[in-house]
């Protein structure tokens, strides 16, 4: 599955995998206990530790989207040297997709 397609329980599952959570169940087996993609208290430490920069874009095709990347930023502009950019409907969704992408690559199985 492409990281850009992950959302909800599947996104939370893969963040848990990246975090090394050994008690994970597949999303079809149980609702994830840790909802990284919707709980700022869980996502913020990852965002800070991984130095994920989150901004927003407005595109005529995609509409308003959050965009996340890993790299140095000056607080106002996206880093020019970032390895990947991930989009999401929310800041946390984009940031957690970016984290998964940087950990596992563009696709997860």
Instruction: Name residue, tokens 């140095």.
Output: 72
- Are 21 and 33 in contact by the 8 Å Cβ rule? The answer is no
Q: With a cut of 90, say whether residue 43 has pLDDT above it.
A: yes
From the CB of residue 86, how many other CB atoms can be counted at a distance below 10 Å? 26
- Selected from 3.40.50, 3.30.2120, 1.10.3470, 3.40.1130, the CATH number assigned to the domain covering 3-104 reads 3.30.2120
**pLDDT tens readout for residues 68-104:** 988 765 656 655 555 678 999 999 999 999 999 999 9
Q: Residue 51 half-sphere exposure, CB side, CA atoms within 13 Å?
A: 12
How many percent of the chain have pLDDT more than 70?
A: 89
Out of 22-31, 57-66, 78-87, least confident range = 78-87
Distance CA 6, CA 28 (A): 14
φ, ψ of residue 88 to 5 degrees: the values are: -165, 165
Among the residues of 1-109, which ranges form H helices? 8-18, 40-50, 91-104
Identify the three-state secondary structure at position 19.
coil
pTM: 0.87
Tokens of 57: 């874009």
Out of 10-14, 25-29, 86-90, least confident range = 25-29
């Amino acid at each position: 599955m492409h990281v850009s397609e992950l959302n909800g329980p599947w996104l939370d599952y893969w963040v848990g995998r990246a975090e090394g959570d050994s008690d994970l169940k597949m999303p079809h087996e149980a609702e994830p206990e840790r909802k990284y993609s919707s709980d700022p208290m869980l996502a913020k430490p990852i965002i800070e530790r991984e130095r994920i920069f989150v901004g927003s874009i407005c595109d005529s095709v995609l509409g308003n989207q959050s965009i996340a990347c890993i790299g140095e930023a000056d607080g106002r502009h996206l880093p020019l040297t970032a390895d990947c950019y991930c989009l999401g409907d929310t800041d946390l969704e984009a940031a957690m997709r970016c984290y998964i992408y940087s950990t596992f690559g563009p696709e997860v199985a």
